[in-house]
Every structure is written in structure tokens, then in C-alpha cells.
Amino acid sequence: MKLILKLIPAAALFVAFTSSSKADPREAEDVAYRMAQSYVAKSFSMAPTDNSGVLGAGQAIRFLIPVTKGLDYVFLCAGDQSALDLDVYVYDEVGNLILDDRRVSRYAGVQFRAGYNGTAVVYLHMARANGLASYYVLVGRRGTAKDTSPSNVGPANVPAPEGAGKGK
């Protein structure tokens, strides 16, 4: 009986520790959407990605986002309570670092204007975590692409056809 009484506090501590370190995907998603509210107010169109899941400390994922020159992009990453430090790194398609967010936080986000047409390579690094931690990623875009295809670029200094602008 004495042995059981001694084991009860240890079991209670174990249950408290393991229940507090469980990954919570819903929490990570909720936090990401709260982060996105200020960007929606700035006219960003936010979209979920297929980049959500669970990572342990030191693990990272990579995902590719197509970008259009002149448009503004934002990448928001949020973690649950088990995520102690999330970092985001954004590279262009030839491997040059565009920008990063390495603050010690369970939130990470970067915003930039694309200077090229192509693909941004985004890394999400779970720098520190308490066991397995959930993360959720949102991508936002703002602006409109200018169509500079040859069919939409008119010739310069060409006179209007005869009769143009005259009602009949």
C-alpha cells in the first residue's frame, strides 16, 4: 500500500508532463489565422498551404511558393504551446537568402516584394520544441501582376486608324 501511495504523485507528474507536451494542430492553426488578421487588413489575400504538421526540435521542412515580380508576399508560421522557437528562411530559386525571421518565438513571419518571376524556397525550422510541436503555415499575396506579354504591349507611336473616335 505504501508503494502505491508513493507512486501516485510520480504518476500524476508524468501525466501532467505528457499532457502538456502534446502537439495541438488546432491551436497552431488558430494562432496562424490570428496572425493573418493584420495582413488581411493591409489587403493581403491569405491562403492556407498544405504545410502543416508536427516537428521535433531541430527538424525543418522546405516548401516552394511560386512568386510574381512586383507582388508582395507574406509567409506566416505559427506553433502550438510545444513550439518554443520557430524560424523561417526564404531563398530565391538560385539559393540566395532573401530574408529570415530568427526571433526566439513560437511565431515567425516574413514579408517581401518579389523582385523576380519564379519560385521562393521557404524553410521552416523548429529550432526548439518541447517534444513534438504542431505548426501551421499561411501564405499571403498582395498586388496585381502586370501583363507584359507581347500580345498586351502595344506598339509605340502608331497613329489611330482612320475614323477612330468618330461616331457614325
- pLDDT on residue 118: 97
The residues with which 111 forms a beta bridge, in sequence order, are 74
Domain hosting residue 75, numbered range = 22-144
Tell me which amino acid residue 147 is: D
In-domain check, residue 5: no
Digit-coded pLDDT (tens) for 59-86: 999 999 999 999 999 999 999 999 999 9
**Residue ranges for the chain with pLDDT beneath 50:** 3, 5, 7, 10-19, 148-168
> pTM (2 decimals)?
0.73
- pLDDT on residue 93: 92
In-domain check, residue 28: yes
- pLDDT on residue 53: 95
- pLDDT on residue 157: 38
In-domain check, residue 99: yes
Q: What percent of the chain is predicted at pLDDT more than 90?
A: 69
In-domain check, residue 166: no
Tell me the C-alpha distance between 37 and 20, whole Å: 28
Tell me the C-alpha distance between 140 and 86, whole Å: 19
- pLDDT on residue 18: 45
Number of domains present in the structure of the chain: 1
- pLDDT on residue 144: 86
Start-to-end CA span in the chain (Å): 106
In-domain check, residue 140: yes
- Which CATH number fits the domain that encloses residue 135? 2.60.120.380
- pLDDT on residue 3: 47
Tell me the C-alpha distance between 85 and 7, whole Å: 34
